[in-house]
Amino acid sequence: MGDALTDMPTQRPASSWRRMTHLELAALPSAVACARLHAKAVALEWGLPALAENIELIVSELVTNSIRAAHHSRGAGLTVAVVRLWLSCDLSGFLIRVWDGSSQMPVRQDPGPDDESGRGLMLVEDLSSDWGAYQDTDGKVTWALMLYPFLQWQATDDGRCGH
């Protein structure tokens, strides 16, 4: 499972993840705070307090990018675009996936020291074991994977991922 997890964790069947949660939000600036709060609460509930802050930061960056992309792809319609957040974990890692309705793939920037933006995917790259994106029905999914072999695991009956 190790190679499959790091090569393309997003291709694993949903049933292979020990725990999963899903949140759909309107693509509005306030959605970022909601997504961060949800991610932190889930990480703590799943027994991953050591990863909660990094999970929260990665979710914030990916959701922010998806909201921007969703607004560009929406056009002049009257409907509100949505973004979708999935969090999954098992005994090997924690997977964050964010869907938006844009087909434009994310590109990691290399901002200069005086640039005010463009560091989001650099942060995702630094905090995760791997990240990427793929085209999906009516949009794309951007994902980040955090492997955590450094934690001591205990098998628990309550389905928690942590120790």
User: How many Cα atoms are found within 13 Å in the side-chain-facing hemisphere of 132?
Assistant: 11
**pLDDT per position as a tens digit, 27-79:** 999 999 999 999 999 999 999 998 999 999 999 999 999 999 887 655 556 57
Is there a contact between 95 and 113 (Cβ–Cβ < 8 Å)? no
Q: CA 86 to CA 22: how far, in whole Å?
A: 4
pLDDT score at 101:
93
- The DSSP letter of residue 9 is G
Single pTM value for the model: 0.80
Q: Can you give the residue ranges of every domain in the chain?
A: 2-147
Task: Give the DSSP letter string of 105-141.
Answer: PP------TT-SS--HHHHHHHHSSEEEEEEETTEEE
> Nearest 5°: CA angle at 139, between 72 and 119?
60
- Residue pLDDT, tens place only, 1-28: 333 333 455 566 666 677 899 999 999 9
User: 102 near 140, Cβ under 8 Å?
Assistant: yes
CATH code at 2-147: 3.30.565.10
Radius of gyration of the chain measured on its C-alpha atoms = 16
